[in-house]
Structure formats: structure tokens, C-alpha cells
Amino acid sequence: MSRKGTTGFRSPNLACKSKGGQSQQSDRSDTPKPGPPLSVVDRSVLRSGLSSDSFVRLLIQSALSRLTIWSQADLDRLLMLSERLGLDPLNNEIYATEVTPTNGKKARIVFVVGVDGWSKIINSHPQFDGMKFVESAPGQDELPLYIECTIYRKDRRVATSIREYMYEAHTGQGAWLTHPRRMLRHKAMVQCARACFGLGGVYELDEAEQVNSSRACSSVPLGKAIVKPLGTGQLKGWIKQSVHASRHG
């Protein structure tokens, strides 16, 4: 066969491949474009594995149960923080609460992370490399003067240490009366984690309550201001004095 006879010859296999390539290109062009990104609510529902109705109902019973009224923006803020910090609002690892000013202004919503939530944030951080606590010698009331928390990071040569003092942190109410050491240890851990990992936009329970109490005490005369106790002994003495003053005042 001469070369002239082969001019314009095309193998049937090549023709089929060419047609197949064209069909693949046409199929690719017909591929639907990705839709708009999911909202933070939709992403949260997918992570939970629940239906939308069940997710919202459980959220209202848990993370939103402390609010008298809330908006879609409040819900979005809560879920965005939960997503960013890797927390589960359905288990109250993070929740919303109200701070009501005494001057009659509208209540402000703040987001609180519980102790379990803070522990989860610390242990799930990819650079977390250990944590330790140092308790000082006891003071007059057999309570430590301070507790120091140190957190180590894999990407830093110098660890982060934060020391919290009992006389500054003691609120004189709630679990501080029954478990002061545990509460001070939690306080030191939270403040150290905040400084070490740059966490912002969230409160711990004591901080949220202090926002309210500081506003409420802003109108108290200086002479009647309450001084934080150094320990349970002085706290009990202050309570007795307050009760005696109220009965005979």
C-alpha cells in the first residue's frame, strides 16, 4: 500500500476515543455547579445527626434555656462560637445567659463556657502539650493563697503560667463556699487557657455573674462596700455581722 493510499485514513478505535472524549467533555460541562454554602444552623444540624425540629427543640431546652427572649442573630452567634471552639451546645458545654443592667436598659446576652467546655477546648487544641498546677502554702484559713496553672504548647519554647489568688477570685457564694480549692483551680485553668490560646468572646460563669453584681453594686456607698474574704472563716464572720446588722438596723 502506498503512502498516498493512506492519506486521510483514520483508525476506527481512534474515532471512538475521540467521540468518547467529546462526550466526556460535554458531560463535564453539564455538571451542576455547587450550591451556596450551608448556613451555620444547617451545619450544626448536620453535625448533631438530628432533624432540624429536634435540634432546635433540644437547643431551646439547653443552651438557650436561660434566656427570656432571643433572636436569630443570637442563635447564629451561639452556633458560630460553638463551631469555632468545637463545643456542643446541646450538652451545655457553651450556653447563653442574660446580663440585666440596673439602669433599666435592655438586657445583654453573653455566652458562657462551662468547666467541661474549657477542658475540651484545651485538650482538643493541636498544639496542647500538657498542663500542671501548683498550689501555694495555706493561709490563715487553711486555704491556698493562690493556685498557678501552667500550659505547655508544642510550638512554643516558653510555657504560659497564670496565677490566681484566693482573695481576688473568691465570690463568697455558691460553690466557692463548699469547694474553694476546686473553684480556684478552675479559675486558674480558664485564665491560663485564655492567655495561651488567645480565646475571646466567651465568659466563664463567675465572670458573667460578676458583670451583673458589679452593675448592681455600683450604687452602693463606698463605706458599705463588701470586701472579699480571705477564706471561709472570715466569710462566716462577715455573714454573721451582716445578719446582726440587718436585725438590729
Sign, CA torsion 62/66/70/73: negative
The secondary structure element, H or E, covering residue 149 is strand 146-153
| pLDDT > 90: percent of the chain | 52
Whole-angstrom distance, CA of residue 130 vs CA of residue 134:
14
Query: Strands 108-113 and 146-153, how do they pair?
Result: unpaired
* Surface-to-core class of residue 195, CB atoms within 10 Å of its CB (0-12 exposed, 13-18 middle, 19+ buried): middle
Q: For residue 134, what are the CA distances in angstroms to 112, 161, 164?
A: 26, 10, 11
Whole-angstrom distance, CA of residue 112 vs CA of residue 93:
8
Whole-angstrom distance, CA of residue 215 vs CA of residue 212:
5
Using left for φ > 0, alpha for ψ between -120 and 50, and beta otherwise, residue 154 falls in alpha
pLDDT beyond 70 at 240: no
Whole-angstrom distance, CA of residue 104 vs CA of residue 102:
5
Over range 196-220, report the average pLDDT: 68
Whole-angstrom distance, CA of residue 92 vs CA of residue 112:
9
Whole-angstrom distance, CA of residue 127 vs CA of residue 125:
6
Q: What pLDDT is stored for residue 11 in this prediction?
A: 46
Q: What pLDDT is stored for residue 123 in this prediction?
A: 96
Identity of residue 8: G
Backbone angles phi, psi at 45, to 5 degrees: -65, -40
Tens digit of each residue's pLDDT (9 = 90 or more) over 73-122: 999 999 999 999 999 999 999 999 988 776 667 778 899 999 999 999 99
Tens digit of each residue's pLDDT (9 = 90 or more) over 1-53: 444 444 444 444 544 444 455 545 545 556 666 768 889 999 999 999 999 99
Q: For residue 196, what are the CA distances in angstroms to 3, 10, 189, 200?
A: 79, 70, 10, 11
pTM passes above 0.75: no
